[in-house]
Amino acid sequence: MIEFVEINEKNYEAVVGFVLLDEDEEEKELMIWRMMVDKDYQGKGYGRAIVEKVMKQFEADSRFDVLIADYVKGNDVMGKLLESLGFEYGEFDEENNEYVMKFITRSNI
């Protein structure tokens, strides 16, 4: 798990978000299984920072060929974020009402 912590002017630490990853070495897939940013910190770039950190981890780890993320239909903010970072749309998972997106390109992030 990757945690993001903000330290404010009063030296108070607050966890602003986290991400849980699922590693499937057999399929060579790394998946952003769950990502959350506290509602008080949304819209401040933390979600992007979390995904970018995961992308750097993916780029550095040769065990995986694809990075997968999904989001619930209607969460257009997440879809636009992933698309802006180079993720491409895959299939729509009707059972879970989720769009599945993949990042394959290995480049300097």
Residue 65 confidence (pLDDT) above 70 = yes
Query: How far, in whole angstroms, is CA 18 from its chain's centroid?
Result: 9
Query: How far, in whole angstroms, is CA 63 from its chain's centroid?
Result: 18
First and final CA of the chain: distance in angstroms? 20
82 SS3 class: helix
Residue 68 confidence (pLDDT) above 70 = yes
With a threshold of 0.75, does the pTM exceed it? yes
Residue 79 confidence (pLDDT) above 90 = yes
Domain 2-103: CATH superfamily is Gcn5-related N-acetyltransferase (GNAT) (3.40.630.30)
Are 63 and 12 in contact by the 8 Å Cβ rule? The answer is no
Kindly state the average pLDDT of the residues 20-28. 93
